[in-house]
Amino acid sequence: MSIRLGMLTPSSNTVLEPMTARLLARAPDITAHFQRLRVLQIGLDPALSAQFDTGPMVAAAELLADAKVHSLCWNGTSGAWLGLEADHAICAAATAATGIPCTSATLALHDALAALGVRRVGLVTPYVGDVQAAIVARLAARGIATVAERHLDDPGNYSFADHSADRVDALVREVVWSRPEAIIIHCTNFRGTEGAPAIEAATGIPVLDSIAVALWGAMRAAGAPTAPLAAHGRVFRLEPDDVRPNRPTA
């Protein structure tokens, strides 16, 4: 049986789609299908936060539903600084409109952190300082301490892809020395996916790259086995019983 994954994608993202296709080369019966939403810059200004309103997300989800996808994923990381409740609202609205299960890059990340029992993380992003601080605060509110972080003060979004994979890998290696329980590379237009498995293997520290983690979450939501992608990181080797999906609080 072929499985189709529906990805809601920032419009100025150029890394996500080709990298997702490369990851899925090991699972030929699973394909990813993308619908873009306008996202041009990342910041805490309300006008920029409005890029992630539920309305455009639902409209994009409805178009993906025409392709009879088996799951939906908001393949952006805005929930990291706006809060998981924002992603829960997006997913609930998308599922209500289409009947298709929905997750997000950030919800999948928190599912993985919970499954791994992680409470101390290193955080690597391209974001500006106040966005990074908001992410650290959101993690702390959920009992997860950021013991080391690196960010590039880039307002992006298109420009995030201009940072080389070597530079991203170097940032990840810098936070290794704080011995976090996991390292988060949080951005779906950032070149951390390829280097993450090697760093993970060399250090023994799970490296949770957003592109890989979002794909893992979308596959799980669709009921697809993730083990065929085990070479791409420990997250794909998590057993279904290890994972308890994040749910909105009452």
Question: pLDDT tens, position by position, for the chain (250 residues)?
Answer: 799 999 999 999 999 999 999 999 999 999 999 999 999 999 999 999 999 999 999 999 999 999 999 999 999 999 999 999 999 999 999 999 999 999 999 999 999 999 999 999 999 999 999 999 999 999 999 999 999 999 999 998 999 999 999 999 999 999 999 999 999 999 999 999 999 999 999 999 999 999 999 999 999 999 999 999 999 999 999 976 666 666 664 3
Which tokens sit at 130? 């106040």
Which tokens sit at 185? 């590379």
Q: Calculate the CA dihedral of residues 14, 85, 5, 207 and round it to 10 degrees.
A: 60
- Supply the DSSP string of 32-89, one letter for each residue: EEEEEE------SSHHHHGGG-HHHHHHHHHHHHTTT-SEEEE-S-THHHH-HHHHHH
Euclidean distance between CA atoms 124 and 242, whole angstroms? 25
pLDDT at 245: 67
Taken in order 107, 104, 187, 169, the sign of the CA dihedral is positive
pLDDT at 29: 96
Total-model pTM? 0.95
Please calculate the CA angle 159-148-105 and round it to the nearest 5 degrees: 50
Q: Is 30 helix (H, G, I), strand (E, B) or coil?
A: strand
pLDDT at 250: 36
Strand pairing report for 30-37 and 3-10: parallel
